[in-house]
């Protein structure tokens, strides 16, 4: 398998964690190192990540994560009980489908470029959507009977795979995470897991160390 991505690509980071948790060998291919035009040729969706597997290319981190779970069910990224599985998926999708798309790079570039918004306005946009996204997730975990130390119980799930890159991004943009102690605690628990540490951006050849390392 080859994973096409970038060091700080949040969606690709989710997949890297899953690959490491499941102990799967893969080649990491930084998209920035590909010859011009190659990336769109390989992946018509044009966003990162994409996984090359069996001579085909799979886009979308959610699709890749499901594929990995189907091909390599152990260790599982979801709990066993159907409703508990749905709760974990709901948490992950709130980040992947609702929060992350509003704050990713191409949206911020469009706000800055064609829409001519100032850095302060774009920071305000970012923080508005982070607060709108994270507050319900904090409340979800506060109410959950699954407990910690991870989002949903004693083992990392898809929820943690989505949370870690999202909080990293929030810290990059100096968001106040104090209102989300349960989310911050789950992120801290992930830093004790070798697979999460192995998947950290600073472990990758295309990382340029502007921020403090995640795996520290
Ligand atoms: N829904 C997609 C999101 C992918 C996505 O937004 N990737 C961003 C980086 S996290 C990207 O490729 N950005 C490059 C660009 O906007 O040109 C997924 O989960 O894979």
Q: Given 32, 52, 75, which residue is the final one in a domain?
A: 75
Please tell me whether residues 101 and 186 are part of one structural domain. Answer: yes
> Which CATH number characterizes residue 50's domain?
3.40.30.10
CA of 103 to the centre of ligand 1 (A): 10
C-alpha–C-alpha distance, residues 137 and 140, integer Å? 5
Q: Ligand 1 pocket, 47 CB below 6 A? A: yes
CA of 118 to the centre of ligand 1 (A): 23
pLDDT tens digit sequence for 149-182: 999 999 999 999 999 999 999 999 999 999 999 9
CA of 104 to the centre of ligand 1 (A): 7
pLDDT tens digit sequence for 87-125: 999 999 999 999 999 999 999 999 999 999 999 999 999
Within-domain flag for 17: yes
Within-domain flag for 36: yes
State the pTM of this model.
0.96
> Which CATH number characterizes residue 176's domain?
1.20.1050.10
Please tell me whether residues 68 and 146 are part of one structural domain. Answer: no
Please tell me whether residues 71 and 86 are part of one structural domain. Answer: no
Q: Given 75, 102, 133, which residue is the final one in a domain?
A: 75
Q: Which ligand 1 atom sits closest to the C-alpha of 97? A: 1
C-alpha–C-alpha distance, residues 178 and 17, integer Å? 25
Range of 180's domain? 82-197
C-alpha–C-alpha distance, residues 161 and 164, integer Å? 6
Within-domain flag for 122: yes
Ligand 1 pocket test: pick from 18, 47, 165, 201 the residue with the most ligand atoms within 8 Å of its Cβ: 47
Contact 164, 196 (CB under 8 A): yes
């Amino acid at each position: 398998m080859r994973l096409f991505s970038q060091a700080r690509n949040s969606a690709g980071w989710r997949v890297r964690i899953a690959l490491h948790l499941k102990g799967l060998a893969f080649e990491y291919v930084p998209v920035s190192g590909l010859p011009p035009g190659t990336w769109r040729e390989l992946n018509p969706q044009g966003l990162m990540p994409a996984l090359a597997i069996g001579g085909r290319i799979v886009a979308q981190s959610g699709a890749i994560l499901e594929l990995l779970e189907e091909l390599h069910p152990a260790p599982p990224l979801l709990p066993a009980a159907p409703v508990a599985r749905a709760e974990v998926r709901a948490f992950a999708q709130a980040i992947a489908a609702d929060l992350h798309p509003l704050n990713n790079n191409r949206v911020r570039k469009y706000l800055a470029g064609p829409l001519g918004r100032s850095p302060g306005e774009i920071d305000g946009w970012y923080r508005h959507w982070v607060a709108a996204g994270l507050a319900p997730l904090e409340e979800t975990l506060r109410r959950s009977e699954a407990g910690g130390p991870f989002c949903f119980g004693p083992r990392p799930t898809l929820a943690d795979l989505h949370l870690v890159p999202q909080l990293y991004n929030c810290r990059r943009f100096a968001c106040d995470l104090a209102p989300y102690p349960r989310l911050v605690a789950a992120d801290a628990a992930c830093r004790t897991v070798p697979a999460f540490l192995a998947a950290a951006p600073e472990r990758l050849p295309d990382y340029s160390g502007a921020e403090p390392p995640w795996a520290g």
